[in-house]
Amino acid sequence: AQTVTQSQPEMSVQEAETVTLSCTYDTSESDYYLFWYKQPPSRQMILVIRQEAYKQQNATENRFSVNFQKAAKSFSLKISDSQLGDAAMYFCAYRRFTGNQFYFGTGTSLTVIP
C-alpha cells in the first residue's frame, strides 16, 4: 500500500506571513497524482491544489503553491500572505495514475494568528 506522511501535526503562522506544510510519500510508480485538501471547521473537504507527477512545473493556485520534488518524494504546500480563513486541517493525498484509491496523510492543523 502507498503511504503518505505528514510529519507536522500542528503548525502556526502569523497573518500575512508565509507557511510551508510538509508531505512525503512512498511509491514505486512513475506516474501519479498528488493533492492538497483543506478541511475548515465546517468539515467540508476542499481541494486546494493538484499536481501531476509527469509535470515538472510546480502547481500554483493564487496564494497556494507546491514544491514538488519527485526524486525526494516530497510535496510541500506553501501558503503565502496567510489569512484567517486559511486556518484549517490540511491533508496531503496520493493517487496512482491508473488507480482508483486515494491515500491520505494524517493531516496538519494550521492556526493563523491575527
Rounded to the nearest whole angstrom, what is the least distance from the CB of residue 107 to other proteins in the complex? 5
Rounded to the nearest whole angstrom, what is the least distance from the CB of residue 81 to other proteins in the complex? 25
Binding mask 72-111 for other proteins (x = CB under 8 A): -------------------x-x-x----xxx-xxxx----
C-alpha to C-alpha distance for 67 and 74, rounded to whole angstroms: 8
Binding segment toward other proteins, per CB under 8 A, in 17-25, 45-53, 64-72, 79-87: 45-53
Nearest to 50 by CA among 66, 30, 27, 28: 66
Rounded to the nearest whole angstrom, what is the least distance from the CB of residue 17 to other proteins in the complex? 26
Q: Which residues bind other proteins (CB under 8 A)?
A: 33, 35, 37, 42-45, 47, 50, 91, 93, 95, 100-102, 104-107
